[in-house]
Chains A and B, each alone.
Chain A
Amino acid sequence: MSIVEFKNVSKIYTSGDHELHALNDVSFTLDEGKFVVILGPSGAGKSTLLNLLGGLDRPNKGTINVSGNDISKLNDNELADYRASTVGFVFQFYNLIPTLTVYENVNLVSEISKNALDAKEMIGKVGLLDHLNNFPSELSGGEQQRISIARALCKNPKILLCDEPTGALDSETGIMVLKLLLDMAKNFGKTIVIVTHNQNIAKMANVVIRVKSGKIRSIKAQENPLSAEEVEW
């Protein structure tokens, strides 16, 4: 059953007289519970795609259906509610609030999400219960990313969106984070969309979407994806 449907979506950025077609008439669907990797070089339009799916931006053309709702026409408040209820984000640079502790960062989502899960439990799941009262600056990059994943999942979203989640990490930590993402997705039955330029991560995916120059070049389903440990970095 498809959870995401992009139909003829275009996104154009204008800068003065210059127009940049970040996405050009893109259409695809994603099934629920899958691990999807969007692959492409820098400037291909993969982050734009993720931003549109995450409700951070609106397309100029086309419709984006998530769980049967068209999010392309939502106003600012509706988009905020969509982000609060339907999607969870994991960024390359973690984006934790530096003035909040680990627990507070994760528990923050209970302020906006009605279905929020228990923050302490989520922190336990990412293995950082010992750091509940630490500030982000007291954690390593990998630990911060794990907290970021806990925070994203704590909202109990339908889709987890990850933008280069291992981009700022060394390979060992990167593998650990990817494994965590996969395990969590499996345990919680979430759809995960990872945007990356790292071809190796694609080997772990159920579906790989290749993007280039604002267009979908291919969509490939993988019957037997590798585990995180099996991936060569």
Chain B
Amino acid sequence: MLIKKMLRTAWSYKSQFISMIIMMMLGIGIFLGFNMEWKTIEYDTSRFFNDTKYADYRLYSETGFTKNDIKSISSIDGVGAATRYLSVNLDIKGKTKKAIALDVSENFSVSTFVLISGKQYDENSDGIWLSDKFANTNGISLNDSLTLEFQGAEIKSKVVGLIKSGEHMICVADSNQLMPDYKTFGYAYISPAKLNTVLREKVISNIAEEMQKSGITVQTAKEKAAQIITDEMITEATDKVFSQINLRSNLNKAELEDAVKEKLGKTIMVVSKEDHIVYKEAMGEAEEGKTMGSILPVLFLVIAILTMVTTMHRIATKEKTQIGVLKALGFKDRTILVHYSFYGLLIGIIGTVSGSALGYLICKLVMSENGMMGTYFDMPDWTAATPFFCYPIIVGTVILLALISFLSVRAQLNGTAADTLRPYTPKKMKRIFLERYSLFEKLNFSTKWNLRDLIRHKSRFAMTLVGIIGCMILLVGGLGMRDTMTGFLDLLDNGISHYATKVNMVENTDYQNAKQLIKELGGDWESYTGISIDGYTATLDIVHDNNDLISVVDKNNKKIYLKDDGAYLCMRLADRAKVGEYIEFSPYGGNETYRVKVIGYNRSIMTEGITITDTLADKLGIEYNISSVYTDKKSGDIPPSDLISGKQDKKQLMDSFESFVQILNSMVIILVVAAIILGIVVLYNLGIISYVERSRELATLKVLGFRNKKIGKLLISQNIWLTVAGVIIGLPAGVGVLYWLLSALASEYELKLMLGPLTYIVSVVLTFGVSLFVGWLVARKNKNIDMVEALKSAE
């Protein structure tokens, strides 16, 4: 019988019950969704990295690694497996603006791939294993032929397999590209045997070219070259191209660096997986998820629980007479408490179950092949993993809700059955602190009434304020994030990159070699070198920006006119040295240490490091290679050259952000919708409570002759005040949260917080819109208030 009563009572409070269930669903859903997202990133990527034997360390040498080198490295204690590795970006012949990263691994127990379709890997195969996503996007099928341009030679192969590789799980051409764009860039593997064939042909071709200078025909030169070519020549060419060793090891970085130095007799640049773009970005995403997950869900869950406290208290006071009747009938306190605790339990269970479903959906919306991360990560398996701590929190929340019901009802059960039978008496009215001032007396009735009502119902007042502030934080945070990212893209497009095409140079291209090409292209250039600053891996960026095709900017995004008398530290390294102090660094692959004065800080888009001019680099005697040349020539107008490893026009680069912007827009929409739902649910629920609590007063006003409109205005004016207060607090709080989020993300990007006037306007207008809409919904109920009924009983 009590169960029937419970269900019917629940139904009679349906608007409160439904809003509490929605709040719990949102609270649990967002809590679970955000936490599942980062956990799933960690879980799925780890599994994929494991399946494809992702390397723990990468060793780089600009002069390449020999077979002896790899033997020595493999013999280090603690190194499990190691391979000479080649990964080079190559253009696809006959397909404009399409390039791939071509990988070769001599030992297929490190940095491998998983086969999606086609033939298994064979180290003697002539074929090419191509990224399935790149193949699908560009209409390439198994057995299609692909020709790649490799340092003046060609690699021609049939596609024998479609694959996914951990090394290229985030498939970007270089660190300047934020998002993969499979229309223009993919990856592929060939066997070492195929590489050997290609290099053999390239060596023959090089020898033949030399012979042709003495006047013999191409054919004869090639035949003669094929006869005189030796294994040593091919080995030398092979050693040169294997500029990377990938290995799996449980040693720490310092231990490995020491061991490598001991074995090879020189300092080698060792990059741990934590600093490799794919692993770093994936873990960065997980970290971002954790950061985001630590604010939003807490906000929602806390608001949900506080709403529950306020609402259950209200229901318990309204049910006081019913509780008294049950007590008078002879039901024990314990039975009544258990009965009413079921309300909280019921809300908790329905809210948790639906919230878990919502959480799963949110997680899948982000982490699935067709979800937001689907355009970023290229993985074969997408699951959904839940961090363990979520389980006790969810169970704890359900118990807490039941406890809230229990405590709310227990407060009404005190005393005898006769005491309980009496209706709930609100607290006595006391003077509020504002009344000490004579100004208070001058306030009109509506203001006094609302002020005192707020003080009288502090928890409702606080909750409403929290709801509005939460709504505001979400709106400013979401829209501000978009503004910041739009500003970032604008900076990249208009503030930093003034070139038409970025030409990537093959490795080991020094300035003397590239001089002619740079002159022809009329370009600026950059050189990236791995350096160690007190053991910390960073990048030395040597910039030649005389033609203003690229710019280095300061923290205010203003162009820095680079000076030759010192170095600029990126903002992430700012705490390493003050302006005027000196900083020391050592390029990997050598034993020199350089000391330069810090003369400023710059905002670096991606790389973390030190920027100096080429003039200063020359003065210091730093040896460097040209990484990229920037030109205002169009991609098609650039003459072919052995020195060019790939080209990327600016439009292509900016287009690659398209999917990134789409993800961002989806996130913003989610946040805006969440803000509106949060605002509506919290404000409506509290509005109804307020309306019920004041129904007697409202009826009195009506009896006295107040028109419905005037009473409605009275109710809405309270909403407006709270909204004004909420907006005043919520706006800086939103900016603060956004600032905090950006600081938390600062290890990856150096983003400048930007907020457009439209963000402020939209956030304020939407918050006021929600508040006024809910105020109107509640105020219109006033029309139906039954004056006679409301005034019958004693207060």
Bound complex: CA A75 to CA B709 (Å): 14
Bound complex: CA A83 to CA B704 (Å): 6
Contact of B429 among A107, A113, A135 (CB under 8 A): A135
Residues in B whose Cβ lies below 8 Å from that of A76: 707-708, 783
Q: Give chain A nearest CB distance to B715 CB in angstroms.
A: 14
| Binary contact readout B689-733 vs A (1 if CB under 8 angstroms, 0 otherwise) | 000000011011111111111100000000000000000000000
Residues in A whose Cβ lies below 8 Å from that of B793: 93
Whether the Cβ atoms of A111 and B706 lie closer than 8 Å is yes
Question: When A93-B791, A99-B449, A99-B697 are in contact, do A137 and B703 touch as well, CB less than 8 Å?
Answer: no
Residues in B whose Cβ lies below 8 Å from that of A80: 702, 705-708
Whether A10 sits at the interface, judged by CB under 8 Å, is: no
Interface-central residue, A57, A83, A113, by most chain B CB under 10 Å: A83
Whether B572 sits at the interface, judged by CB under 8 Å, is: no
**Residues 43 to 63 of chain A near chain B (Cβ within 8 Å):** 47, 51, 54, 56-57
Question: When A93-B793, A98-B429, A135-B429 are in contact, do A56 and B787 touch as well, CB less than 8 Å?
Answer: yes
- Closest B-chain residue to A92, C-beta based? B794
Whether the Cβ atoms of B697 and A98 lie closer than 8 Å is yes
| Binary contact readout B435-451 vs A (1 if CB under 8 angstroms, 0 otherwise) | 00000000011001100
| Binary contact readout B418-441 vs A (1 if CB under 8 angstroms, 0 otherwise) | 000000001011110000000000
Contact of A51 among B696, B788, B795 (CB under 8 A): B788
Whether A211 sits at the interface, judged by CB under 8 Å, is: no
Whether the Cβ atoms of A77 and B788 lie closer than 8 Å is no
Whether the Cβ atoms of B448 and A85 lie closer than 8 Å is no
Contact of B705 among A47, A84, A96, A104 (CB under 8 A): A84
Whether B285 sits at the interface, judged by CB under 8 Å, is: no
Residues in A whose Cβ lies below 8 Å from that of B783: 76
Whether A97 sits at the interface, judged by CB under 8 Å, is: yes
| Binary contact readout A95-111 vs B (1 if CB under 8 angstroms, 0 otherwise) | 11111100010011101
Whether the Cβ atoms of B445 and A104 lie closer than 8 Å is yes
Whether the Cβ atoms of A99 and B705 lie closer than 8 Å is no
**Residues 99 to 137 of chain A near chain B (Cβ within 8 Å):** 99-100, 104, 107-109, 111-113, 135-137
Q: Give chain A nearest CB distance to B168 CB in angstroms.
A: 68
Whether the Cβ atoms of A137 and B428 lie closer than 8 Å is yes
Interface-central residue, B430, B444, B697, B699, by most chain A CB under 10 Å: B697
Residues in A whose Cβ lies below 8 Å from that of B452: 99-100
Whether B209 sits at the interface, judged by CB under 8 Å, is: no
Q: Give chain A nearest CB distance to B434 CB in angstroms.
A: 13
Whether B456 sits at the interface, judged by CB under 8 Å, is: yes
Give the secondary structure class of B's interface: helix
Q: Give chain A nearest CB distance to B661 CB in angstroms.
A: 52
Whether the Cβ atoms of B705 and A138 lie closer than 8 Å is no
Question: When A97-B697, A99-B429 are in contact, do A112 and B705 touch as well, CB less than 8 Å?
Answer: yes
Q: Give chain B nearest CB distance to A156 CB in angstroms.
A: 12
Bound complex: CA A54 to CA B787 (Å): 11
Whether the Cβ atoms of A113 and B794 lie closer than 8 Å is no
Whether A25 sits at the interface, judged by CB under 8 Å, is: no
Residues in A whose Cβ lies below 8 Å from that of B795: 93, 95, 98
Residues in B whose Cβ lies below 8 Å from that of A84: 704-706
Whether the Cβ atoms of A97 and B449 lie closer than 8 Å is yes
Residues in A whose Cβ lies below 8 Å from that of B794: 93, 168
Whether the Cβ atoms of A100 and B703 lie closer than 8 Å is no
- Closest B-chain residue to A107, C-beta based? B445
Bound complex: CA A84 to CA B794 (Å): 24
Q: Give chain A nearest CB distance to B459 CB in angstroms.
A: 16
Whether the Cβ atoms of A56 and B697 lie closer than 8 Å is no
Whether the Cβ atoms of B449 and A100 lie closer than 8 Å is yes
Question: When A51-B788, A91-B791, A111-B445 are in contact, do A98 and B426 touch as well, CB less than 8 Å?
Answer: yes
Bound complex: CA A154 to CA B428 (Å): 26
Whether the Cβ atoms of B704 and A108 lie closer than 8 Å is yes
Residues in A whose Cβ lies below 8 Å from that of B696: 95
Residues in A whose Cβ lies below 8 Å from that of B449: 97, 99-100
Bound complex: CA A136 to CA B696 (Å): 14
Bound complex: CA A185 to CA B430 (Å): 34
Report the number of A-B residue pairs with Cβ-Cβ less than 8 Å. Answer: 93
Whether A32 sits at the interface, judged by CB under 8 Å, is: no
Residues in B whose Cβ lies below 8 Å from that of A6: none
Residues in B whose Cβ lies below 8 Å from that of A98: 426, 429, 456, 697, 795
Residues in B whose Cβ lies below 8 Å from that of A155: 704-705
Contact of A95 among B430, B700, B709 (CB under 8 A): B700
Question: When A93-B791, A99-B452, A99-B456 are in contact, do A137 and B705 touch as well, CB less than 8 Å?
Answer: no
Whether the Cβ atoms of A95 and B788 lie closer than 8 Å is no
Bound complex: CA A98 to CA B696 (Å): 10
Residues in B whose Cβ lies below 8 Å from that of A54: 703
Contact of A112 among B456, B700, B704 (CB under 8 A): B704
Whether the Cβ atoms of A95 and B791 lie closer than 8 Å is yes
Whether the Cβ atoms of B705 and A113 lie closer than 8 Å is yes
Bound complex: CA A138 to CA B428 (Å): 8
Whether the Cβ atoms of B697 and A89 lie closer than 8 Å is no
Interface-central residue, B456, B703, B710, B795, by most chain A CB under 10 Å: B703
Contact of B708 among A77, A91, A99 (CB under 8 A): A77
Question: When A80-B708, A155-B705 are in contact, do A100 and B426 touch as well, CB less than 8 Å?
Answer: no
Bound complex: CA A135 to CA B453 (Å): 13
Bound complex: CA A168 to CA B696 (Å): 18
Interface-central residue, B699, B704, B783, by most chain A CB under 10 Å: B704
Q: Give chain B nearest CB distance to A229 CB in angstroms.
A: 28
Residues in B whose Cβ lies below 8 Å from that of A100: 445, 448-449, 452
Q: Give chain B nearest CB distance to A77 CB in angstroms.
A: 5
Interface-central residue, A82, A98, A107, A108, by most chain B CB under 10 Å: A98
Q: Give chain A nearest CB distance to B786 CB in angstroms.
A: 9
Q: Give chain B nearest CB distance to A131 CB in angstroms.
A: 14
Bound complex: CA A96 to CA B429 (Å): 12
- Closest A-chain residue to B787, C-beta based? A56
- Closest B-chain residue to A137, C-beta based? B428
- Closest B-chain residue to A51, C-beta based? B788
Bound complex: CA A108 to CA B697 (Å): 12
Residues in A whose Cβ lies below 8 Å from that of B708: 76-77, 80
Whether the Cβ atoms of B704 and A109 lie closer than 8 Å is yes
Bound complex: CA A95 to CA B431 (Å): 20
Bound complex: CA A178 to CA B698 (Å): 27
Bound complex: CA A136 to CA B429 (Å): 8
- Closest A-chain residue to B450, C-beta based? A99
Bound complex: CA A179 to CA B710 (Å): 35
Whether the Cβ atoms of A57 and B707 lie closer than 8 Å is no
Bound complex: CA A135 to CA B452 (Å): 11
Interface-central residue, A82, A111, A136, by most chain B CB under 10 Å: A111
- Closest B-chain residue to A161, C-beta based? B703
Bound complex: CA A96 to CA B701 (Å): 10
**Residues 165 to 195 of chain A near chain B (Cβ within 8 Å):** 168
Residues in A whose Cβ lies below 8 Å from that of B703: 54, 56, 83, 89, 95
Residues in A whose Cβ lies below 8 Å from that of B791: 91, 93, 95
Contact of A57 among B448, B701, B710, B788 (CB under 8 A): B788
Bound complex: CA A56 to CA B791 (Å): 11
Residues in B whose Cβ lies below 8 Å from that of A99: 429, 448-449, 452-453, 456, 697
Which residues of B come within 8 Å of A, CB atoms? Answer: 426, 428-431, 444-445, 448-449, 452-453, 456, 696-697, 699-710, 783, 787-788, 791, 793-795
Return 22 A-B CB contacts under 8 Å, by A number: A54-B703, A76-B708, A77-B707, A81-B707, A82-B705, A84-B706, A85-B705, A89-B703, A89-B704, A95-B699, A95-B795, A97-B449, A97-B700, A97-B701, A99-B453, A99-B697, A104-B448, A107-B445, A108-B701, A109-B704, A135-B430, A137-B429
Q: Top 4 A-B pairs ranked by shortest CB distance?
A: A84-B705, A99-B452, A83-B705, A135-B429
Which residues of A come within 8 Å of B, CB atoms? Answer: 47, 51, 54, 56-57, 76-77, 80-85, 89, 91, 93, 95-100, 104, 107-109, 111-113, 135-138, 151, 155, 168
Sample of 10 more A-B contacts, CB < 8 Å, known A98-B429, A135-B431: A80-B705, A82-B705, A83-B702, A84-B704, A95-B699, A95-B795, A104-B448, A108-B445, A108-B704, A138-B428
